[in-house]
């Protein structure tokens, strides 16, 4: 049986209207995950960098061209912590996604 374009579009619209709660759940999941990512950056990474003494003067210090490299080497544990924090946030994101997947199923 061959269907016309208008039949296919009408069935697609009917399916979309029938499944609006699932679509709303997916939108809510996206909003929660985006908010979590933004909060993780603001709450964890920015204060850690500020506490480590990172400033714009570090880049504009022309008398010592190795200042940035020295700063990076001196704060290796900070970067290890940021890497570990990224894995923790990723685990939380996966848990939230699984929760929403289970709700949609």
CA distances from 84 to 21, 53, 60, 98 (A): 36, 21, 30, 21
| Domain limits for position 40 | 5-104
If one counts the domains in the chain, the total is 1
Q: How confident is the model over 75-99, as a mean pLDDT?
A: 86
Tell me what percent of the residues of the chain surpass a pLDDT of 70: 83
> Tens digits of per-residue pLDDT, 25-74?
889 889 989 998 888 888 777 777 776 676 666 556 656 667 667 777 87
pLDDT level of residue 1 (50, 70, 90 thresholds): confident
């Amino acid at each position: 049986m061959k269907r016309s374009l208008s039949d296919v579009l009408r069935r697609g619209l009917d399916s979309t209207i029938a499944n609006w709660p699932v679509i709303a759940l997916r939108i809510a999941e996206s909003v929660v995950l985006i908010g979590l990512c933004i909060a993780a950056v603001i709450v964890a990474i920015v204060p850690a960098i500020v506490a480590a003494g990172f400033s714009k003067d570090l880049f504009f210090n022309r008398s010592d061209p190795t200042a940035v490299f020295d700063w990076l080497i001196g704060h290796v544990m900070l970067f290890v912590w940021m890497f570990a924090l990224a894995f923790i946030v990723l685990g939380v994101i996966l848990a939230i996604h699984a929760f929403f997947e289970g709700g949609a199923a």
